[in-house]
Structure 1
Amino acid sequence: MSTFSRLGGLLLAAALPLGAQAELPAERIEPSIHAELAAHTRHFAQQIYRVAGNVHSAVGWQLGNVVMIEAPEGLIIVDTGESVSESRKIMAEFRKLSDKPVKAVVYTHFHPDHINGVQAFVSREQVERGEVHIYAHETLLQNVVAQGALVGPILGVRSAYSFGSFLPASDQEGMNAGIGPLAKAEPSSFIAPTVTFGERLDTRIAGLDVQFLHVPSEAPDEIILYLPDNRVLISAEVDQGPTLPNIHTLRGTRFRDPVQWVESLDKLRAYRAEHMVPLHGRPVSGQDKVEEVLRMTRDGIAYIHDQTVRWMNKGLTPDELVEKVKLPPHLAGYTPYLREYYGTVKHSVRQIYNGYLGWFQGDPVALDPTPPRQQAERLIALAGGREKLLLEAGNAYLKGDYQWAAELAGYAIRVDHDDKLAREIKARSFRKLGYASMNINWRNWYLMSAMELEGKLDGDAIRQRSVEMREVFLSPDMVRSFTPQSFLQNWVTRIDPQKAGDLELTLGFSFPDVDEQWALEVRRGVAQLHKGIPEGTELRLSMDKRFMETLLTGEGGLVKGALLGDVKVEGNLLEIRRFLACFDFADEAFGLTLR
């Protein structure tokens, strides 16, 4: 069947008064990759790069690189990858180069692709015995906790979309992740840092001088290493590697301040290093080349920020800004470091606007808008009904205007999530947009959303993958690093006001093995955490921190713990049960596209 007849059939189907279960003629959209993105995959061919004699960077095994520094008295491992199994392969390659013992591990920041593979290189026992030290910024641990506990459920689902976790092999063949090969999601391993610092640390590790510097940029706790003996700069993700930096990540993150990022890049330039070893992509050698990469990267970020702010100050809104702010040719064409494989100018611009001004753009119509479903119903009526709306969506699809086709079909879906014809138009449009995208994040979101629209992501699959992705951010090893405070602080955002609307009650928590006491107070739908247990508190639970960890991993439960003696209870059991019932710890299965 020709393309014309297939799509002509689509238009005919849209033009007829079809029911919600109508089907479109079959059309096979073959998986493809943007040519430049496909060529970019070669950048991440597996190789151990040797730099300045004693620094070795393993590129191509995982999303993030692992770096081995050979010091006189042992090895320093910088970042550990996202996968223990793949990191073991890297360690086997390193062992071909040196049989020295590992003396230190460095976490350059808290993201999973930089810390999750640690137990491929060292054991917890080695660290506990003091044989190996783990270096990190002083805020890394609190960032790990916030990432895994506070927003773990939504971050798990959004990360699955960003990384294309459900995509079939046909959609991933020959692909890369923009900053490295495709990520290999595994439950994380983790060992807490033993040596932390604030702004700067000059030290000697295994007989080698090492300078650490805090350089907030892609992550708030980002640190770099400089080896003065051979002028090697290990730049972490201040230089994000062979791509336009991801000034904002679509999976969700706190504001990444571009001004701060530019300042950090200028601090790296001040070293005038002879070699630069990023934690994504290949090393760069030669002082002039290192300076060029750093300067161009900082200029790219600065340009996007400065021009966004310039036009913000002339009243432009995000939808207008993304059409106005574009990199000039000398920056946009700086391959590969400013090409839009991972970050994009458009989604960076939106983040900058929101970071400075928030969501409100100045038109009061947005203060209390018509609810989405009601708005869709009215617009469909204005268009002359569902059939005419989908006819126009089909026309847009035929003309290659896939964005408009998806937007129009989206109104019908908002009114009826089961509108099969609308879902198929939108899904096909997303596949066309995804396969044409050079940006890996955009591609994955388009294709994952298409799968959701096509009914290929059911609730059980989403729930299971969400659990798997959460284990990337929050594993039993990470739970060991939770304090009683971080455990209970998570309860505050779990309060259900419908169940706690008339309750005023306080429950005390004692953790005798770590000599800590805390109390949760519920006041009519609001929960507050207090340090210490207020005098007169009648309801109390006492447990060891180790049992608390089983609650976080789902292995234990308070009722079971009370029956088995792991939890000691004081006070009226019915009142304690009433208190606990006010909190919502249920995990929901949800998609992100069907709204």
Structure 2
Amino acid sequence: MRYLHQDWQRNALELLTGPCQPVPINNNDTEPNMRISTRFSGLLLAAALPLGADAALPDETIEPSINAELAEHTRHFSEKVYKIADNVYSAVGWNLANSVMIEAPEGLIIVDTGESAEQSRKVLTEFRKISDKPIKAIVYTHFHPDHINGVKGFVSEEQVKSGEVQIYAQETLLDNVVTQGALVGPILGMRSGYSFGVALPDADKKDMNAGLGPLAHEGKSTFIAPTITFKDKLDTTIAGLPIQFLHVPSEAPDEIVLYLPDNRVLISAEVTQGPTLPNIHTLRGTKFRDPVVWVASLDKLRAFQADYMVPLHGQPVSGKDKVEEVLRMTRDAIAYVHDQTVRWMNKGLTPDELVEKVQLPPHLAGYTPYLREYYGTVKHSVRQIYQGYLGWFQGDPVDLDPTPPVEKATRLVEMMGGREKVLLAAGNAYLKGDYQWAAELAGYAIRIDHDDKLAREIKARSFRRLGYASMNINWRNWYLMSAMELEGKLNGDAALQLSQAVRNAFLSPEMLKNLPARIFLQNWVTRLDPEKSADVNLTLGFVFPDINEEWALEVRRGVAELHKGIPEGTTLKLTFDKTYLDTVISGENGLLKGALLGDVKVDGNLLDIKTFLGCFDFDETPIALTLR
């Protein structure tokens, strides 16, 4: 790591005698993060002098850089179509996730469709160099955006509606798609933006990859709902080719794999996450990924004894022995992290202690590239396992009703001698290269005052140093995105735009058309404002004639309940087609507009309906993840 220029102490006296001129950051610079320049206050270097509000760290340039092993890892995802056996082709490098083409006697089967239609059209162009047969089927291996959002790069909605093309998936995929985007969409969008570093400038993306694939590309998110689904397994013939489908929950609850018995090819989806330690937990946030279930799924894959394995991230694996080795080593790594975490949990260790105790043994940690920590890490997996079994409470009752964060920070800073001493210690830690401690100390001052420029600068610079050194892409992206937030580049409208843009990948307008009325109305339950509804007891019925469904939302003094069907005696009703609801969900129309134009039939007192609708909070507000 690069440290500050060693002449800073010698220059301190000179800098104390007169103000330094600030060096502005050129916002039009093609590499804005190449220069992080601020006024230097020598007061930081003199413990006996108070730190003024405008104090700053010494001038320095933090050059964007990348961990050498992570940079080398990028070569793994060079654009290339790999041929496997006689009729399977894997396109690596165009999308975050691979797309696989299976050439069957009567047509083509495409497995997973990438994150955007634009990129997937490029993949189809490559596939068309190999075969001009018609596409007969699409397979979604699971619901994550990088596996389904590019579907219209391969087929059209008309082809699917006519039956020319069938889309296969596990039966819960559609529910997972809409629940993910509708229920926790705002916070998931923001956190995903940080995990994938979507706002980072080009300088921070140079030579980078996404751990399990190339960096994702911007583009249009498309979606067509599955036409054929199954629960546990499906043995069938598609376009004249025998295929076995198997549900193997692991990285996703609806994960499925395909086995081609004719040439012993296993398309392993993301049960193996390709050339990286699997993400047993994802920092963006997800429901508990049970390592025991994941290990069992890997053992099911081993039972195929396949000659070839085609993961949906990274390069294919050839040879029965090599396939077994990769599956076994991946299985053993996940099992080891789980088993040793549980072992030490049962000795009373807490998460902060467990992460220091549980480490992969050398033969697993060094299994390159499949178990290197480019995407998942042992440390953040251990914490999820603890919480999955025991929840947030670690056993010390001090955590049952802790001192509120701002009050705690205020007391600690006062006890440590005040802001000046805390930031002096933080600055000194930074200058010594102790970036974690510098960030932690600065965080106390920020908790008290979000506008403390010096504290934010110390923490931001510390995060840049930690991020550029990290081999793990999730950690790197969180460090650098958080640094941008601390520097004022991801606040307010910028934060809101980021959340909304990323959320579109999880619930695009085309996905919204598949949103059941139940899911739409269920989302209202979590939007109820208890203060506005404290004295309200009203029920509003929703009638959808075109799909023959009726639902009702009851507001009961701060609580909302969704009813299937409309309770007897309900006087407030809105009647409109589900097709109109789709336009409401997409933002094209509104309920009030529909009532005025006749698209929505209103029964009951309009003032009561207005009171009912006023009980809900649909405002989208910027989310700060670091400035807390």
Q: TM-score, normalised by structure 2?
A: 0.93
- Which residue number corresponds to residue 315 of structure 2? 282
Deviations 1:244-270 (A, max 9, x none): 000000000000000000000000000
Q: 1:412 aligns with which of 434, 440, 445?
A: 445
Paired residue for 2:494? 461
Does residue 1:208 correspond to 2:210, yes or no?
no
Report SS of the residue matched to 2:401.
coil
Per the alignment, do residues 297 and 10 of structure 1 end up closer, same or farther by CA in structure 2, a change over 3 Å counting?
farther
Partner of 1:296: 329
Q: Pairwise mapping of residues 416-495 of structure 1 onto structure 2 (< 5 A)? A: 416-495=449-528
SS at match of 2:532: helix
Following superposition, the deviation at residue 333 of structure 1 comes to 0.1
Partners of 2:517 and 2:57 lie apart in 1 by 56
Alpha carbons 1:104, 1:132 under 8 Å: kept = yes
Counterpart for residue 562 of structure 2: 529
Match of 1:220 in 2: 253
Change (3 A) 1:11 1:264: farther
AA in 2 matched with 1:440: I
Aligned-partner SS, 1:520: strand
Do residues 94 (structure 1) and 127 (structure 2) align? yes
Alpha-carbon distance between aligned partners in 1 of 2:6 and 2:143, rounded to the nearest angstrom: 51
* Structure 1 equivalent of residue 34 of structure 2: none
My pick for the range that moved more, 20-29 or 100-109, is 20-29
Gaps of 5+ in 2: 13-39
Equivalent residues in 2 for 1:112-511, closer than 5 Å = 112-511=145-544
Say yes or no: does 1:47 pair with 2:74.
no
1:47-78 alpha-carbon deviations (Å, 9 max, x no partner): 00000010000001111000000000000000
Q: Distance in 2 between matches of 1:462 and 1:2?
A: 31
1:13 CA drift (Å): 2.1
> Structure 1 residues 567 and 31, CA, compared in 2 at 3 Å: closer, same or farther?
same
Is 1:68–2:98 an aligned residue pair?
no
Pair 1:25-2:58 in alignment: yes
Rounded Cα–Cα distance in structure 1 between residues aligned with 2:42 and 2:104: 68
Instruction: State the one-letter code of the partner of 1:291.
Output: E
**1 CA distance for matches of 2:103 and 2:141?**
18
The Cα offsets for residues 193-221 of structure 1, whole Å up to 9 and x where unpaired, read as: 00000000000000000000000000000
Cα deviations across residues 231-285 of structure 1 (Å, max 9, x unaligned)? 0000000011000000000000000000000000000000000000000000000
Residue 580 of structure 2 corresponds to 547
Shift of 1:185: 3.7
Match of 2:5 among 3, 6, 26: 3
Q: 1:13 is matched with which residue?
A: 44
Tell me how far 1:590 sits from its aligned partner. 1.8
Once the two structures are superposed, residues 489-524 of structure 1 have per-residue CA deviations (whole angstroms, 9 ceiling, x without a partner) of 111100000100111110000000101000000111
Q: State the alpha-carbon separation in 2 of the partners of residues 357 and 395 from structure 1.
A: 39
CA deviations on 1:179-203 (whole Å, 9 max, x unpaired) are 0000124342000000000000000
State the one-letter code of the partner of 1:258: P
Cα deviations across residues 506-543 of structure 1 (Å, max 9, x unaligned)? Answer: 00000001010000001111100001111110000011
Choose the corresponding residue for 1:85, options 101, 118, 121. 118
| Greater shift in the superposed pair: 159-168 or 453-462 | 453-462
Report how far residue 10 of structure 1 moved.
6.7
Residue pair 2:4, 2:431 contacting (<8 A) in 1 also? no
**How far apart, in 2, do the equivalents of 1:529 and 1:11 lie?**
62
SS of the aligned residue for 1:82 comes to coil
- Give me the identity figure in percent: 75
SS at match of 1:489: helix
Summarize deviations over 1:277-327 as a string: whole Å, max 9, x none.
Answer: 000000000000000000000000000000000000000000000000000
Q: CA RMSD in A?
A: 1.2
CA contact (8 A) 1:218 1:238 kept: yes
CA distance in 1, matches of 2:438, 2:493: 29
- Whole-angstrom distance in 1 between the partners of 2:112 and 2:316: 15
Q: Distance in 2 between matches of 1:344 and 1:92?
A: 36
- Give a deviation string over 1:31-53, Cα, whole Å, max 9, x none: 00000000000000000000001
Q: TM-score, normalised by structure 1?
A: 0.99
- Structure 2 SS opposite 1:376: helix
Aligned residue pairs total 595
